[in-house]
Amino acid sequence: MEIRDLTPEDLDDVLDLRKRSFGLLSPDDREKWRKAVVPTLAEGRYLGMFDGARLTAAARLRQFTQWWHGRPQPMAGIAGVTVSPEDRGRGLGTRLMRAVIERGAELGDAVSVLFPATTALYRGVGYEHAGAQHNVRLSGEVLRGIRPSGQVKLRRMGPADAAEVVSVLHRVHGAARSSGPVCWDERTWSLWLAEEDDFLYLADDGLAVYRWKGDELEVDTIAAASADTLRALWALVGSASTVAPQVVAAVAPDDPVLWLLPERTREQVKQVRWMFRVLDVAAAVERRGYPSTAACSAVVTVDDPIRGGGTWRLEISGGSGSATPVPDGDGVKLSVNGFSALYAGIPVQTLRLSGLISGDDRYDEALEAAFAARPYTLDYF
Ligand SMILES: CC(C)(COP(=O)(O)OP(=O)(O)OC[C@H]1O[C@@H](n2cnc3c(N)ncnc32)[C@H](O)[C@@H]1OP(=O)(O)O)[C@@H](O)C(=O)NCCC(=O)NCCS
């Protein structure tokens, strides 16, 4: 079987594979999918596996920015992993994912995220559970209790605002020292911002994306860098409470809206879990942000059968980190899954008890403080 870049001529076969894997797509959704996918083909972001001329599997590498402790870096978001039904259970998914990981690194991404439909396939190639999209169910009436100051100017936005949206998200996630949130590239934002049935609002330092879902409202994104804007955006959603008694919103686990609510007792949160993988240890460590108070100098050996692995001295101080190759020695031993989970802020004792870290435990507390995070995304892909 050959793995190669997909071309526009392959897209009918990919759509057939998607139908057999994920269900039917309306003609309108097929067209939207084509429009989003075609420009990425020449960038090497869609791989197919072929048995002669027959497409047997496909996977897409989406181009994202992801923040880790407030610092943005390019991230490969893996989506549309599909093996044709008649070829499943023979290792094709694994082979394709190995190629996807190599491709992500070639494209310059040091980290990668995917929302798994099943764990074993992805864990087997180095991804580990890290964060989630947290969808909380809120009462529209309670949201209406959030009073806006009246000082914030909100305007409706459209495709021409894509660059401004990206810029606002950079400000918001930098200021919040966020870990995990992602931002689509401008091209994708301009497609999303053309969605006629979405309600899209922009302020100088915030934005809201929400829509009807039956008789409820679904909030994709409310992000703001100031308290006034945050109130204004949530009040907008709460103002629909006469018709939308319930709102389902993607929020951060410590989202400030949860502290604005006048009432909070039992909460229904649906977590859609995502898995994370470091593709390039040195680049990922350098591109991450860290708490400015954290200091750590630790030797870690990462076992990565696909990307090679190795031993590095991690130096973290003043909010920045570096990883310098050193000879193998006594230090912390991690599978690439373990290192990925550590990078994503999973506590070290969790990793030790689940067998993802072994070896020298002298650095445990320092590593945990340096990589501390509660990663989440507002987006699903
Ligand atoms: C999921 C999918 C891509 C797996 O492809 P595949 O070629 O059958 O996978 P592999 O043969 O390489 O299997 C790799 C591992 O995943 C496990 N696996 C595969 N399909 C599975 C399933 N449906 N449920 C649970 N585990 C599964 C295998 O048992 C194997 O684990 P092991 O190494 O511990 O034995 C394929 O079944 C598919 O296209 N499904 C429909 C679409 C889908 O769910 N895509 C994933 C979106 S995230």
Q: How far away, in angstroms, is 334 Cα from ligand 1 center?
A: 25
Nearest CA to ligand 1 atom 34: 120
27-41 and 11-22 are packed helices; what angle lies between their axes, rounded to 10 degrees?
130
The CATH number of 2-109 is: 3.40.630.30
Say how far residue 193 (Cα) sits from the centre of its chain. Answer: 19
* Other Cβ atoms within 10 Å of 362 Cβ, number: 13
Residues of the chain with CATH 3.30.1050.10: 281-371
Predicted confidence band of residue 352 (pLDDT cuts 50, 70, 90): very high
- The Cα-based distances of 357 to 85, 111, 185, 328, 332 in angstroms read 36, 19, 35, 16, 7
| Ligand 1 pocket check for 82: Cβ under 6 Å | yes
pLDDT at residue 328 in the model: 85
* Other Cβ atoms within 10 Å of 177 Cβ, number: 17
Q: How far away, in angstroms, is 52 Cα from ligand 1 center?
A: 22
Predicted confidence band of residue 49 (pLDDT cuts 50, 70, 90): very high
pLDDT at residue 363 in the model: 95
pLDDT digits (tens, 9 = 90+) for 202-260: 999 999 999 999 999 999 999 999 999 999 999 999 999 999 999 999 999 999 999 99
pLDDT digits (tens, 9 = 90+) for 84-142: 999 999 999 999 999 999 999 999 999 999 999 999 999 999 999 999 999 999 999 99
Nearest CA to ligand 1 atom 36: 83
Q: Which residues lie below 8 Å from residue 73, measured CB to CB, with a gap of 6+?
A: 65, 66, 67, 110, 111, 284, 287, 288
Cα Dmax for the chain = 66
Which ligand 1 atom is the nearest neighbour of the CA of 116? 48
364-371 and 336-343 are packed helices; what angle lies between their axes, rounded to 10 degrees?
60
pTM of the model: 0.97
| Ligand 1 pocket check for 291: Cβ under 6 Å | no
pLDDT digits (tens, 9 = 90+) for 286-325: 999 999 999 999 999 999 999 999 999 999 999 999 999 9
Residue 330 has pLDDT above 90, yes or no: no
Nearest CA to ligand 1 atom 21: 118
Mutate to test the pocket of ligand 1, among 16, 19, 88 (most ligand atoms within 8 A of CB): 88
* Other Cβ atoms within 10 Å of 255 Cβ, number: 20
| Ligand 1 pocket check for 275: Cβ under 6 Å | no
Q: How far away, in angstroms, is 132 Cα from ligand 1 center?
A: 21
Q: What is the mean pLDDT of residues 318-347?
A: 96
Among residues 33, 108, 22, which one has the least CA distance to residue 64? 108
φ, ψ for residue 9, nearest 5 deg: -70, -20
Three-class SS state of 11 = helix
| Ligand 1 pocket check for 20: Cβ under 6 Å | no
Residues of the chain with CATH 3.40.630.30: 2-109, 146-261
Residue 269 has pLDDT above 90, yes or no: yes
Instruction: For residue 95, give both structure tokens.
Output: 């082979």
CA distance 301 to 279: 15
Q: What is the mean pLDDT of residues 351-365?
A: 96
Q: Among all chains, which residue has been given the structure tokens 């994709």?
A: 220
CATH class (in words) of the domain with range 281-371: alpha beta
Fold of 146-261: Aminopeptidase (3.40.630)
H helices of 124-226, where? 140-144, 162-175, 186-192
Contact in structure between 215 and 141 (CB atoms under 8 Å): no
pLDDT at residue 212 in the model: 98
Q: What is the DSSP string of 116-147?
A: -SSSHHHHTTT-EEEEEEEEEEEEHHHHHTS-
